[in-house]
A and B are shown apart, each in its own frame.
Chain A
Amino acid sequence: MNRRMFGGSLLAGTGALAVRRLCSTGRLRDRRKSRSRVAILHAESYDEPLDRLLLDGLGLFDLDLRDKTVLLKPNLVEYIAGADVNTDPRLVGAAANTLLAMGAKSVVVGEGPGHQRDTFLVLAESGLEKELQLRRIRFIDLNRDEIRQVRLKSAFTGLEKLWLPRTVLTSDVVVSMPKVKTHHWAGVTLSMKNLFGVVPGVAYGWPKNLLHCKGIERSILDINAAVPAHFVIADGIIGMEGNGPLNGSPRNLGRIVLADDPVAADFVCTRLMGLNPLRVNYLAQAAEFLGNGTPDRIVQLAEPMLVPQEPFAVLPEFAHLSI
């Protein structure tokens, strides 16, 4: 164990201990369910019949979507020609169709990119606009939606309140649809980090710099405690390794991860990347109160968990994440 690895593990460990203490004193509500369910689906490419695959995969969960309004929140960062940066439009379209087929009253797709102010430019260039038009699915720019102030349920950032889009607050079901990627500030960006996109640019600017100033990992925890995603559909068919979330290299993982718990989803995705989730500071802390991280509290469905022989490449700062 080198010095950096020791430091990273120590940070995650002490953070998790602090969260445990807050839970035991009642200052932080323990919201973990007794068991979380995660399904790993095999999909070699985006040309596979994704609607069918998702319908079968979602059938493994006891999802009651009848008469529910659903918000799909993909990871739509910006368009870089030839780079797999965003949740693939075909997967987003397939998810929307499948959820409608399962009885959802309505499905909308919403995102608020962090740096790119022209959301509809990213939508057009990424191909998502065309996909949604074909499937007649509505898109909401979460950066410019009406906003409401909500009181935070945790205090990692010290912010007492946060402005959030009306669509996020009024949807019955929020589905986080991350792209499985490494992240140069947070280690990994998965379903929990993906919720940065629900924080409205109209209130906080582009980028949502207040979250960076308050600490990315602390912000991830506060946002997810305030607006937890009810379900996760993670795009791990082609992920990104190295200098993510924008300038890394594509990595064929061939997996879609479904979960009824974002923390469990992110633990499983991190392991699929060949990285140790307990060394990702915010994941270790989230597993103490927001969701489940330990294998004994995660029911594994569909495909077995296979840790890759070659872990996802990470920047030197995150070398300690490798299993």
Chain B
Amino acid sequence: MKTSFAAVERQRLARCRLLTELRYRRVPRPGGWSHYGDQPGTEPTSLALLALRSSRSSPVPFEALAPLLACRRPNGLWSAVRDGDTEANFWASAIAINTLMILGADSEMFAEALDSLLHCEPLEASWLVRLKFRIADRHVRLDPTKFGWPWIPDTMSWVEPTSMVLIALERAKNLGLIQGGQLWCRLNKGTDMLLDRACPEGGWNAGNGVVYGVPLQPHLDATALALAALRFHYHLPTVNSSLTWMLDRIDCPSAHSLAWLILSAAAYKDWRSDVLPALGVARDRLAALVEEPQRIQDTSTIALAALALDPETANNPLEVRSCAHQ
């Protein structure tokens, strides 16, 4: 199915409006973007930088990256918002590293954080916690030996941060920035964790597929993220059924979830023939949903929608190409 000229034009205009709104929402001092209000955050700043990137080939100048680097903590990891006292956040760190790699930043800017991600262990890594899940805490169906990454230190691993870290590590591996046994071990464990936490009907939520024997329903954005992280495992039945579940929901009424869906599905366009037609429909729907970007509260959603409506996929934060394409 070919997308009509009118649809393409509608999407282009919608994207222009989103980018205008993004430029307007830049926090003047100290720079960067916030989810809402004046407090710059790592996620909105990362996504806005990607959405506003004008040149596809040349690296972004250092001063443009300054707002993102300002959210970095002394230990090299990123916090969710720019505030001296905020804790390290693994989701924020992964999205920042991923962004810096896409924008061609010097790897020295994120080498320490990359190393921290590689060596980060969630609570389940402790034998005591694993024992608790085996003996006392058996109402949530999960295998605690399969673990990924938590949102913040000293907590359990969850689907969204695990997915984003896997994407960042995969990209770093393909760029030749990291290698070795520890990398493979963490990539495998993280992948196993995502597969273990999938919902019985396909798809993912935050990470509880079955609780008290009851299957819980998947969420669109978590599914999109997990699928993007599992892109090189497209042949697995869990991945395939989850992709089907996700593509069946392109009538989603929320721009946030729909944008994640588009960015994730785009990574599968070469693997399944039903992805491209679904992407056309989803982009058209998204263009309609974001007609008035000034009414969208979350700036991340504006940036995500702009990225999802971008016909070029070079800035897609969820797409990691295999080594041959890098």
Write the residues of chain A forming the contact surface with B, with a CB cutoff of 8 angstroms. 78, 80, 115-118, 120-121, 124-125, 139-141, 144-147, 149, 161, 163, 166, 184, 202-207, 209-210, 213, 243, 246-247, 315
Contacts and interface: CB of A to CB of B under 8 A. Distances in A.
B158 A207 contact: yes
Interface of B: 34-39, 41, 43, 80-81, 83, 85-87, 89, 91, 123, 139, 150-152, 154-156, 158, 160-161, 205-206, 208, 211-212, 214, 216-217, 219-222, 252-257, 297-298, 300-301
Contacts of A209: 150-151, 155-156, 158
A205 B81 contact: no
Sorted from nearest, which 5 A-B pairs have the closest CB atoms? A205-B151, A144-B35, A121-B254, A146-B37, A209-B155
A206 B91 CA distance: 11
Given A120-B256, A120-B297, A246-B216, A210 B38 contact: no
Given A145-B37, A202-B80, A163 B253 contact: no
A202 B256 contact: no
Contacts of A124: 253-254
Given A116-B219, A166-B37, A213-B123, A184 B156 contact: no
Contacts of B221: 117-118
Given A141-B298, A213-B156, A315-B212, A120 B254 contact: yes
A146 B151 contact: no
Contacts of A203: 80-81, 86-87, 89, 152
Contacts of A115: 205-206, 208, 219
A242 to B, nearest CB: 10
Nearest to B155: A209
Contacts of B208: 115
Nearest to B253: A124
Contacts of A213: 123, 154-156
A17 to B, nearest CB: 25
Contacts of A116: 205-206, 219
B211 A184 contact: yes
Nearest to A144: B35
Contacts of B222: 117
A152 B201 CA distance: 42
B303 to A, nearest CB: 13
A144 B298 contact: yes
A145 B36 contact: yes
A147 B81 CA distance: 8
Contact of B155 (A125, A140, A184, A210): A210
A146 B38 CA distance: 7
Given A117-B160, A144-B36, A205-B91, A243 B219 contact: no
14 contacts: A115-B208, A118-B220, A121-B220, A121-B252, A140-B36, A144-B297, A146-B36, A166-B37, A184-B139, A184-B212, A204-B151, A206-B151, A207-B206, A247-B216
Given A203-B87, A209-B155, 19 more contacts: A115-B206, A116-B219, A117-B206, A118-B256, A120-B297, A141-B35, A141-B36, A144-B36, A145-B36, A146-B39, A149-B85, A166-B37, A184-B211, A202-B81, A205-B91, A205-B160, A206-B160, A243-B214, A247-B211
A209 B160 CA distance: 13
B128 to A, nearest CB: 13
A116 B298 CA distance: 15
A202 B134 CA distance: 31
Nearest to A129: B253
A202 B35 contact: yes
